[in-house]
């Protein structure tokens, strides 16, 4: 018999969430994205160039980010499965969020101490494992606590804060604390400070030990594969997220190098210009994220917004094909943000409605998050040869646009969500 505690933890939420939950969830996601993307967008490229030199920077960065993404592929669903089964008196999600943030902060703070590509890759991989542990539990709080009618707006606030985290992080290490050591320290500190308020506000239901689902490693590994025949909508949602994330990973991984090598800016100016582009992208995202979520919630429709947003993102990639000036890059960044804001809000809401089982929300969202992490491995494998041997940055952005349009097409077959 299911206990009352378990019923609260596993049943669909019906009570509307209030501003404190949305605000602290947004702050925590800001901290997590700052920890993910400030290193990827700025600190790791600079560390890679410092260690490997100008001629080896692309390959070094590809190895480091690839290792981190591969670790994330495993860590995210594994931590999600474990949090689904956690019976702590502090709840299922809270312990994983706290410990993941603390360990992740320590590992990020140590990045600037590395002097080899191998050391940098190992430390970043461990950091990815810790931060993904926190992120997997945090992501599950939306289907845990937010009713379906509010998930668009909740995902919109989360998407807006995630983008803001990227902007603030890169701006801090580009304009305020420009040293690599100071940059890693402030990134680590903000991760912890921004996550703590959520831990104080969240109503994290406790799972009774008698009702804890068993965990078997073999079954866990088999559950990485969600049958498209049994759960076709989940499979199409996964494919769409994977393709759009792959396009995004390919487009943004070498952004700093694009500004140096294609636009022709010196390194210091390129770093500052990167911040301007990310700021414009963030403005576009913040304009459409919450608005898109509200419109989607009110209309009850998700697919049309996700498809439209993906097409807008592809248009931005096509603009970058012929871009050799900062002005055109700025236009593309703004358009990309307008598309990505609506995409973040509505696609996340759509995904929470196609999860196979309430008992495995965090694990299944971890499987979805593989679609975010795997492109970080595959992206450099595709992007690096395109940039260095097969057409340069124009070829890269043509490929990005096509892949993003395929992601839009993958939404069409979903049947259980309008």
Largest CA distance in the chain: 67
Domain count, the chain: 1
CATH of the domain at 91: 1.20.1250.20
82 part of a folded domain: yes
Angle 204-208-209 from CA coordinates, rounded to 5°: 125
267 part of a folded domain: yes
Tokens of 386: 């395109």
252 part of a folded domain: yes
Report the candidate in 329, 333, 323, 308 with the shortest Cα–Cα distance to residue 404.
308
pLDDT per position in the chain (418 positions), as tens?
445 444 455 567 778 888 899 999 999 999 999 998 899 888 998 999 899 887 788 788 888 988 888 898 888 888 888 888 888 888 889 999 999 999 999 999 999 999 999 999 999 999 999 999 999 899 888 888 888 888 888 888 888 887 788 788 888 888 888 889 999 999 999 999 999 999 999 887 777 676 676 666 676 666 666 677 888 998 999 999 999 989 887 887 778 788 988 998 887 788 788 878 878 888 888 888 888 888 888 888 899 999 999 999 999 999 999 899 999 999 999 998 899 888 877 888 898 888 776 666 667 777 787 787 778 778 878 888 898 888 889 999 999 999 999 999 999 999 988 8
Range of 20's domain?
13-203+227-409
Alpha-carbon distance of 260 to 275, in angstroms, equals 14
Report the candidate in 162, 407, 160, 157 with the shortest Cα–Cα distance to residue 306.
407
79 part of a folded domain: yes
Report the candidate in 402, 409, 251 with the shortest Cα–Cα distance to residue 314.
402
180 part of a folded domain: yes
Alpha-carbon distance of 221 to 235, in angstroms, equals 17
Look at residue 257 and give its three-state secondary structure: helix
Report the candidate in 164, 121, 190, 138 with the shortest Cα–Cα distance to residue 21.
138
400 part of a folded domain: yes
Alpha-carbon distance of 402 to 407, in angstroms, equals 9
């Amino acid at each position: 018999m299911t206990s009352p505690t378990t019923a609260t933890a596993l049943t669909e939420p019906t009570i509307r969430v209030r501003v404190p939950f949305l605000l602290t969830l947004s702050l925590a996601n800001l901290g997590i994205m700052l920890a993910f993307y400030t290193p990827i967008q700025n600190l790791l490229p600079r560390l890679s160039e410092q260690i490997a030199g100008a001629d080896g920077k692309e390959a070094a960065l590809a190895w480091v980010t690839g290792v981190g993404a591969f670790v994330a592929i495993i860590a995210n669903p594994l931590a999600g499965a474990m949090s689904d089964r956690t019976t702590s008196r502090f709840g299922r999600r809270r312990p994983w969020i706290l410990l993941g943030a603390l360990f992740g902060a320590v590992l990020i703070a140590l990045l600037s101490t590395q002097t080899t590509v191998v050391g940098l890759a190992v430390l970043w991989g461990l950091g990815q494992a810790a931060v993904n542990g926190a992120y997997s539990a945090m992501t599950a709080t939306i289907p845990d606590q937010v009713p379906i009618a509010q998930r668009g707006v909740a995902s919109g606030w989360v998407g807006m804060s995630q983008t803001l985290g990227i902007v603030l992080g890169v701006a801090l290490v580009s304009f305020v604390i420009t040293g690599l050591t100071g940059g890693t320290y402030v990134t680590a500190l903000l991760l912890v400070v921004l996550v703590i308020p959520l831990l104080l506000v969240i109503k994290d239901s406790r799972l009774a030990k008698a009702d804890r689902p068993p965990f078997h490693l073999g079954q866990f590994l088999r559950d990485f594969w969600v049958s498209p025949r049994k759960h076709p909508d989940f499979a199409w949602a996964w494919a769409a997220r994977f393709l759009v994330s792959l396009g995004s990973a390919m487009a943004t991984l070498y952004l700093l190098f694009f500004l140096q090598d294609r636009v022709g800016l010196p390194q210091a100016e390129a770093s500052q210009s990167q911040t301007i582009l990310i700021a414009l992208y963030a403005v576009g995202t913040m304009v459409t994220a919450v608005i898109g979520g509200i419109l989607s919630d009110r209309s009850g429709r998700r697919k049309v917004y996700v498809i439209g947003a993906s097409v807008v993102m592809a248009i931005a990639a096509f603009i970058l094909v012929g871009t050799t000036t900062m002005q055109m890059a700025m236009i593309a960044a703004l358009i990309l943000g307008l598309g990505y804001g609506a995409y973040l809000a509505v696609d996340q809401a759509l995904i929470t409605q196609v999860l196979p089982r309430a008992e495995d929300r965090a694990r299944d969202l971890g499987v979805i998050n593989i679609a975010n992490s795997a492109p970080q491995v595959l992206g450099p494998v595709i992007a690096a040869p395109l940039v260095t041997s097969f057409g340069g940055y124009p070829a890269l952005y043509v490929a990005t646009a096509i892949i993003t349009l395929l992601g839009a097409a993958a939404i069409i077959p979903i049947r259980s969500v309008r």
